[in-house]
Amino acid sequence: MTGAVDETPRVRTLLLEADGWPGHRAGQHLDVRLTAEDGYQAERSYSIASAPGEPLAITIERLEDGEVSPYLVDEARDGDTFEVRGPIGGYFVWEDDGRPVFLVGGGSGVVPLMSMIRSSSESTPIRLLYSSRTLEDVIYRQELDARAGDRVEVFHTLTREQPPGWAGYARRIDAEMLREVAWPSAEQPHVFVCGSTRFVDVAADGLVALGYEPLSIRTERFGATGG
Amino acid sequence: MPQISRGFHGRRSEGPSDRIPPGQHLVDDFPVLSAGPTPHTPLDEWTFTIQGGAEPASWTWDEFQALPSEEITTDIHCVTKWSKLDTVWKGVSLDTLLGLVDHDAGYLLAFCDGGYTTNLPLEHVTDGKAWIAYDYDGEALEPEHGGPARLLVPHLYFWKSAKWVRGFRLQDEDEPGFWESNGYHILGDPWLEQRYWGD
């Protein structure tokens, strides 16, 4: 571990230097294995946040009853070492072919989507619909603000609490929101949806109802446990 | 010898070690993992089909429900590292289904609503090792967990227990399915930690 960035009170990005790392594709994850002094081991998977070719970074949300995530968010520090394995995954990955990309993220589900945004070419249109509980919980907020423009459009929804004068959405993701934000299905964008099970189901079902081909919607779900 | 992670103690409230494969941890809930949207196939359009035998075999939902069923209590292990103990299912054994088909195949490729497939050697799905399950915990299997029916092959990583299964094709050759073509192990034995290509 070579560095860390506090993203929100519960979320931290770790910068890693991995000997022999073969490189990754946007959307892939890696496995972390921790070993206690008595040999006890725990393994979890985390999405890669960095673009291919950039210094390797993973972003981790601390789960209150988690075993590995509290260690990585609160305890690990520069110079620590732990085992990583990867990259892993051959389906929730994106190759930039210039076609528009629609990204739908809930909470820390934005992490693999950020890798895609960071690696996109200057001409690839991207829309991100990103659901967070509060403004404070928005991961990569400054970077998203800085990247947002004509090519990268960012739509936030804050489900629990909104600051005064909030101009974004203020409810859980729903079919109407998707209809307003998504490109028409006829434009055949790539679609990646990542978040909790319920979030992904609502988003994926909503996109199917809008006419998106089910096989064109790539999803990744995480449960309430696992960290 | 793996490197010690400074300050890591672990929670290790982890249940019987002879039931938790390497790298797995216990969960109490039932996480969902799927590659795409959840299909919703009405029961009156649902069929289960076995291809590749001397004669194709097919059952409607009602016909399938009329087949002899078993209750199965088993541990399940997901490649994303959670394990869940003593899950209770009801379904039809593949021994029963394959007993109704004349064939000399060595493998099957299961196919599902949503376009997903998974491959299995027949020796891993016979002699009481695999079922087509349609009840979970005494209730009809919910769509997000693979309902109306899913494969249940609990001694392999759970992606082999394909959701929304609609049948399988009996084959002479082992042909990689969806996850097996996307970086995951061709067999997936959790006790050998066969997670990914190269394991």
A101-222 CATH fold: Rossmann fold (3.40.50)
CATH class of A3-88: mainly beta
Query: CB distance A223–B3 less than 8 Å?
Result: no
In a domain, B122, yes or no: yes
Domain of B165: which CATH number? 3.90.420.10
To the nearest whole percent, how much of chain A has pLDDT over 70?
Answer: 98
Size of interface A-B (CB pairs under 8 A): 115
What CA–CA distance (Å, rounded) separates B34 from A222? Answer: 10
In sequence order, what E strands does B78-178 have? 82-93, 107-112, 117-121, 131-136, 139-140, 150-152, 165-171
For the stretch A62-104, pLDDT in tens is 998 889 999 999 999 999 999 999 999 889 999 999 999 999 9
What is the least distance, in Å, from the CA of B40 to any CA of chain A?
Answer: 10
Contact present, B83 and B20 (Cβ < 8 Å): yes
| Prediction ipTM score | 0.87
CA B155, CA A5: separation in Å to the nearest integer? 41
Q: List, for residues A136-185, the tens digit of each pLDDT value.
A: 999 999 999 999 999 999 999 999 999 999 999 999 999 999 999 999 99
The pLDDT of residue B33 is 79
pLDDT at A108 over 60: yes
Residue A127 pLDDT: 98
- For residue B89, pLDDT beyond 50: yes
Cβ(B113)–Cβ(B169) under 8 Å? no
C-alpha radius of gyration, chain B, whole number: 17
Q: How many CA atoms lie within 13 A of A29 on its CB side?
A: 22
Is pLDDT above 70 for B1? no
Q: Which residues of B touch A43 (CB under 8 A)?
A: 23, 81
Task: Give the rounded percent of residues in chain B with a pLDDT score beyond 70.
Answer: 98
B140 lies in a domain? yes
DSSP string, A198-225: HHHHHHHHHHHHTT--GGGEEEEEE-S-
Asked which of A3-12, A185-194, B3-12 is least confident by mean pLDDT, the reply is B3-12
**Start and end residues for every CATH 3.40.50.80 domain found in chain A:** 101-222
**Pairing outcome for strands B117-121 and B107-112:** antiparallel
Residue B58 near chain A (CB below 8 Å):
no
Hey, which residues does B170 pair with through a beta bridge?
B108
What is the pLDDT confidence band of residue B113, given thresholds at 50, 70 and 90?
very high
Task: Determine, yes or no, domain membership for B117.
Answer: yes
What is the per-residue pLDDT for A226?
A: 38
| Mean per-residue pLDDT, B28-32 | 81
Residue B6 lies inside a defined structural domain of this protein: no
Q: Which among B29, B179, B182 has the least Cβ separation from residue A224?
A: B29
Closest CB to A89 among B37, B82, B183 = B183
In a mutagenesis test of the A interface, which of B3, B4, B8, B28 is the best target, namely the one with the most A β-carbons within 10 Å?
Answer: B8
Question: Domain range holding B72?
Answer: 22-28+45-175
Contact flag A80-B33 (C-beta cutoff 8 Å): no
In a domain, B186, yes or no: no
What pLDDT, on a 0 to 100 scale, did the predictor assign at position B3?
A: 84
Higher pLDDT, A227 or B62: B62
- Nearest by CB: B5 against A34, A204, A224: A34
For residue B3, give the nearest of A81, A91, A217 by CB distance. A81
A212 backbone dihedrals φ, ψ, rounded to 5°? -70, 135
Q: Look at residue B168 and tell me if it is in a domain.
A: yes
Least confidently predicted of A15-19, A161-165, A218-222: A218-222
pTM of structure: 0.92
- All CATH 2.40.30.10 domain ranges in chain A, comma separated: 3-88
Residue A225 pLDDT class (50, 70, 90 cuts): very low
pLDDT above 70 (res B155): yes
| Residues A225, B179: C-beta atoms closer than 8 Å | no
Separation CA A9–CA A198 (nearest Å):
24
Residue bearing tokens 């899950």: B87
Q: pLDDT tens, B117-133?
A: 999 999 999 999 999 99
* pLDDT of B53 above 80: yes
pLDDT bracket for residue A129 (50, 70, 90): very high
Domains in chain B: how many in total?
Answer: 1
The A-side interface with B (CB below 8 A) comprises 33-37, 39-45, 67, 71, 75-76, 80-83, 88-92, 197, 201, 204-205, 207-208, 214-215, 217-219, 221-226
Does B89 lie at the interface with A, CB-CB under 8 angstroms?
A: no
Contacts of A222 in chain B (CB under 8 A): 31
Q: Give the residue carrying structure tokens 């300050």.
A: B7
CA distance A145 to B175: 46
Residue type, B176: P
What is the distance between the alpha carbons of residues A71 and A4, in angstroms, rounded to a whole number? 13
Q: Does B79 fall in a domain?
A: yes
Mean pLDDT (chain B) is 94
